Structure 1
Amino acid sequence: MIVANSSFLDHLQAQRSQYRYKLPSRPEAGRFIDQLMRLLFPVTQDCQSASQQIEETYQKLHQQLIHLFQPLSATLPASPDVITDQFFEQLPAIYDNLLLDAHAIVDNDPAAIGIEEVVAVYPGFYAIAVYRIANELLRLNVPLLPRMLTEYAHGHTGIDIHPGAQIGRSFFIDHGTGVVIGETTIIGDNVKVYQGVTLGATHVAKSMAQKKRHPTIQNNVVIYANATILGGRTVVGHDSVIGGNVWLTNSVEPYSLVYNQHQTDVRLKPLDDGEPINFVI
């Protein structure tokens, strides 16, 4: 039998009293988001029961959300029942926005076969969907749970979208791995983002917590792979294209094309006897 370290256990007990919040269960939060997605988009085999018993599934999700809110009751602006009702009142609008996001992927990705494939397997769509759900909960002043949901999606997709970001209609993330969208980012309509894009802050000091730290991306902007756009004052004007691997900390005008200039040096090709010759271009 292992003898417990009583002083360490006393320390853990004392530490518990210092926590500001009690949190919902992380596995239960993940189950809620996945079951809600199955209700909204029953395109795969494991969604059939949700689609066949839609009213029952809807009521179960309602109760699940109330249960997730219970540990947060003391910090909610209203009772868990009221906040849950308010969230489900917004679900039709969330669903409509998600359909626009899905169609944006279908319309812009030549590899996409149809909306069923997008909602079932595309990590970009899944991350956007979880963000939109979490963002609505944040708008209802629910603490902590929205971030738990987006971090759950982050773990599954490699796409990190803070629930506090403001993202417009018809948002398209292609591939997606490594995308980071910070808390105070503002993104307009019809924006396309590729893998490895960072919309981040130039400073990470705690004193900046209540300030706009992340960029504004206006309508119809395309941001290609591994571009980094930083700063709360940085605005990418509408209808601009930001090329791959660009590092941007200053605003650009609408209709701008920003790209990295590169130089191609032609290597020398050795002859059989070892003497090099130049390629002629």
Structure 2
Amino acid sequence: MYDVKKFKYFTVSSIAFGTWRIGGGYWYASHDRDNEWVSAIKRAIELGITLIDTAEMYGNGHAEELVGQAIKSFDREQLFIVSKVWPSRADYDNVLKSANNSSKRLGTYIDLYLLHAPSRVPICQTMKAFEKLVDDGIIRFFGLSNFDVKGIENARQCLSKYELVAIQNHYSLLYRKDEESVLGYAERNGLMYMAYTPLENGILSKNEFLANIGRKYNKTATQVALNWYISHNNLVPIVKASKINHVEENAGVMGWRLSEEDWKAIDTHFRERNYLLDKFISTLKSMRPWK
């Protein structure tokens, strides 16, 4: 690996390859770009992005199939595969069924299995199923996505055999709500915090403030933003790319770090200038499906 984050039970690449909108979208599959998508995943792994995030909902399982196809030529022990179960399937029996189906599509075990979002199903049912999946060797670890601290605590109280090891939430320089609670909680408790939508669908890639700082390092605005994230001790940003040049740009975030001065300048700039935008994005988030 070129650049890694070490946690209590595992070591992963400092950024993750995301597969939302690869292989289709919200519970529907698309096969028209399969070769392109598989090539992108392979290139990411070659460049040291060995943490791959997917879900049963992405492409109605087709994203998992594409990941499974892409990883066949690599050393499985060097990879860390994340998948998720949808909240409507969070009851004990359906969790077991979903995980087994995801594992079959991937062609391998799942390193980290997440509940995609809070569910009406009592959380202890889901946690009991997760522990059973670890015992059965279908998954190695488990965690939660789109949860607040109270929800995480409730889940942890259900556990009798294993620990919850990760939380995946929306976080970016433009959406910093989790700094109020979840991000600090995760670090204090040794949880990996996976940040989805860290570039806000390309908004930060076009940010001139980040681009100006990037010129000092011969890096792009995208690379500066991602490097700002990986400078957090326990934070791993999830970045999706379907084109090889974008994969290579994302991989260029690894192997270096922003100076403390520049990191603080970025922190202050976005904290002071994006309060209203942060609230706007929060509103939009409440109106769309979880990633």
Is this a same-fold pair by TM over 0.5?
A: no
The structure that has the greater radius of gyration is: 1
Which TM-score applies when normalising by structure 2?
0.26
Which TM-score applies when normalising by structure 1?
0.27
With a CA cutoff of 8 Å and minimum separation of 6, indicate the structure with the bigger relative contact order: 2
Q: Could you say which structure has the higher strand fraction? A: 2
